[in-house]
Amino acid sequence: MKLANAAALSLVAILVFSPVGVATPVYAQMSQSEVEERLTCQCGCGLTLASCNHLQCGFRNPMREEITRRLGEGVAGEVIIEGFLERYGEKILSSPTTTGFNLLAWTGPYIAILIAGVLILWRFGFLSRGKSGNGGDSEGGGASASSTGDGEVISASDRQRIKRELGEV
């Protein structure tokens, strides 16, 4: 039951602290370099239009000219980007949108880290019921037995024998 509570609490934390509301870019009043940074070059380099390093790029150069022309006509950067989005699809954007299936690109890594953390805690017994790490036994040994964490009990004499044998190695 503790595992279910921890998972539910973690899911709520992800939903509350996810960057969905923060990741929505604002395109209004953008310069040419800002528009170019938000668009991916389609020549195969995988870079943005602003950072494409092909000297005679067959995609970047005409796109830059069009952006310059449209900004000169007074068209807002948001409208220019929306036009390219309609023409080329979402692959033209340098970062995924925060709607629909693309939301997984923003939240997926956080969810995977959370699930891995819960599984690690569960595996090593931190989320198990009634088990403690060392059973309350002190390091100096004693007359009482302690639990190994998996249900087995080690007596004080066995603990002393283990310490002695490990000391010889």
Q: What are phi and psi of 115, to 5 degrees?
A: -65, -45
Sites in the chain below the pLDDT cut of 50: 21-28, 131-143
Query: Is 9 within the bounds of a domain?
Result: no
Domain boundary among 64, 79, 94: 94
Q: How many CA atoms lie within 13 A of 95 on its CB side?
A: 12
CA distance 23 to 14: 15
Do 88 and 137 lie in one domain? The reply is no
Q: Identify the pLDDT of residue 136.
A: 45
Assess contact for 128 and 116: CB atoms under 8 A.
Answer: no
Distances (CA, A) of 167 to 84, 143, 161: 71, 21, 10
pLDDT at residue 83, rounded to an integer: 92
- 90 plus 143 within the same structural domain: no
Q: Are residues 37 and 90 in the same domain?
A: yes
Pair (36, 89) in one structural domain = yes
Residue 54 resides in a domain: yes
Say what the pLDDT of residue 137 is: 45
Quickly tell me which residue has 């956080």 as its tokens. 110
What range does the domain containing 152 cover?
133-169
Residues 43, 54 contacting (CB under 8 angstroms): yes
Q: Each residue of 22-40: pLDDT tens digit?
A: 444 444 477 888 999 999 9
* Total-model pTM: 0.47
Between CA 131 and CA 133 the distance in angstroms is 7
The number of domains in the chain is 2
pLDDT tens sequence across 83-103:
999 999 888 888 877 777 878
Last residue of a domain, one of 46, 79, 94: 94
Whether residue 82 is contained in a domain is answered as yes
Is 17 within the bounds of a domain?
Answer: no
Does any domain span residue 159? yes
